[in-house]
Amino acid sequence: MNMVQKFRTELNEPQLHRLVEAINQLNGSRVLLTGGTGFVGKWLIETALIACGNGAQKFEIILPTRDSLASHVIETREIGFNNLSLVEGDLLTDALDIGRVDAIIHAATPASAELNESNPIEMTKINTQSMQAALKFAENKVPFLFTSSGAVYGNQPQSITHIPEHQDQPYSELSSAYAKGKKLAESMCAQAGQAGLCSPIIARLFAFSGHYLPRDTHFAIGNFVQNVLDRKPIHINSDGQARRSYLYGADMAIWLWSALAKRSSPHPLHIGSEHSVSILELAQAVARVSTTELNFVPEIKVAIPTASSEKYHQYIPNNSATKSYLNVQEWTSLETGIALMIRDCLR
């Protein structure tokens, strides 16, 4: 791969070209970013650093935070983006002095399986209240990029290999509080657009790989990478048949910057890979990369024997219209993304 410049993440020429092109379309904007210390936010900030370090027009990211001394905030500052402005305070309850903003990226909702199960009412409340709080800073049709979720489609039918981009209705009743909250927040964003407060850009996110992804929670790819880093067997806590796809974090961030640069979207965008793999196939991919990167060949342990080869959960988007609209690609393969995760952990 033709590397352009040394950063924590090294982009190839097409990635860098599209990133710089998108950032330059922001015209030196002040961008309000909620959720800037999470996986999505950190990748947005890191790619902003790369863009501005490679000739893109300088712009400011305003990041609200409840505690500027918290470890996740310090980690975000250590990315090194000089035009990052921290505003201390609670977005939900405090009157923050942020000033005029030219664009908003609302990525503040936690993707917490534990909270979703233990306190579903709180999960729904966080989604709707955080959207309401972010919309307070919207006026004059400001571009408003909301990172929603593919969970709003409900359970993907067995007969549908890829969720169409123009799917209007959920496939099933939304049983997840997280999904219900995202759907409600999308509606709030659309209503604000109709009122002229913002120009909504709904980005439905799927699954991802890359550093900043937790390696000790409900993200299978993160857990598998940690298994091989620990020189332990890869543990699949299921029958391994469920199917997912994984877009690398840098690609995800470039897609999101490209979406914001468009300033509007006629339909929800799919931010996710269309290359479907089973969880077992994912484990096998991690094992192959581990063999090369770590000289360690892990055993793969499947917790639950396969009950039926015909029934399994899947969560795979079609992304062809999104890629065409944003002029982006899936630049990073699954195995390359896994290798980059492992190399980053070994720094």
Residue 242: CB atoms within 10 Å: 17
Antiparallel, parallel or unpaired: β 208-209 and 277-278: unpaired
Residue with tokens 């799919």: 270
What is the helix (H) or strand (E) element at residue 142, kind and residue range? strand 142-149
Question: Can you read off the two tokens belonging to residue 212?
Answer: 């900043």
Q: How confident is the model over 88-143, as pLDDT tens digits?
A: 999 888 889 999 999 999 998 765 555 556 566 777 788 889 999 999 999 999 99
d(CA 181, CA 114): 15
Residue 304 is predicted with a pLDDT of 86
**pLDDT digits over 297-323, tens only?**
999 999 987 766 668 899 999 999 999
Q: Give the pLDDT band (50/70/90) at residue 45.
A: very high
Q: DSSP labels for 19-48?
A: HHHHHHTTTT-EEEEETTTSHHHHHHHHHH
63 phi, psi to nearest 5 deg: -120, 105
Where in the chain are the domains?
13-208+247-274+316-331
39-53 and 249-262 helices cross at what angle (nearest 10)? 80
pLDDT digits (tens, 9 = 90+) for 260-291: 999 999 999 999 999 999 999 999 999 999 99
Using CA atoms, how far apart are residues 184 and 296, in angstroms rounded to an integer? 46
pLDDT in tens, 200-248: 999 999 999 999 999 998 899 999 999 999 999 999 999 999 999 999 9
**What is the spatial distance between Cα 100 and Cα 213, in angstroms, rounded to a whole number?**
32
Instruction: Decide if 314 contacts 282 (C-beta within 8 A).
Output: no
Q: Band of the pLDDT at 1, cuts 50, 70, 90?
A: very low
Phi, psi (5° rounding) for residue 208?
A: -140, 165
Distance CA 198, CA 222 (A): 35
Query: What's the CA gap between 42 and 49, in Å, rounded?
Result: 11
Q: What is the pLDDT of residue 177?
A: 84
DSSP state letter for 85: E
Banded model confidence at residue 41, pLDDT cuts 50, 70, 90: very high
Among candidate residues 164, 151, 158, 147, the one with its CA nearest the CA of residue 317: 164
Can you read off the two tokens belonging to residue 142? Answer: 């400001």
Which class does domain 13-208+247-274+316-331 fall in?
alpha beta
H helices, E strands: number in the chain: 11, 13
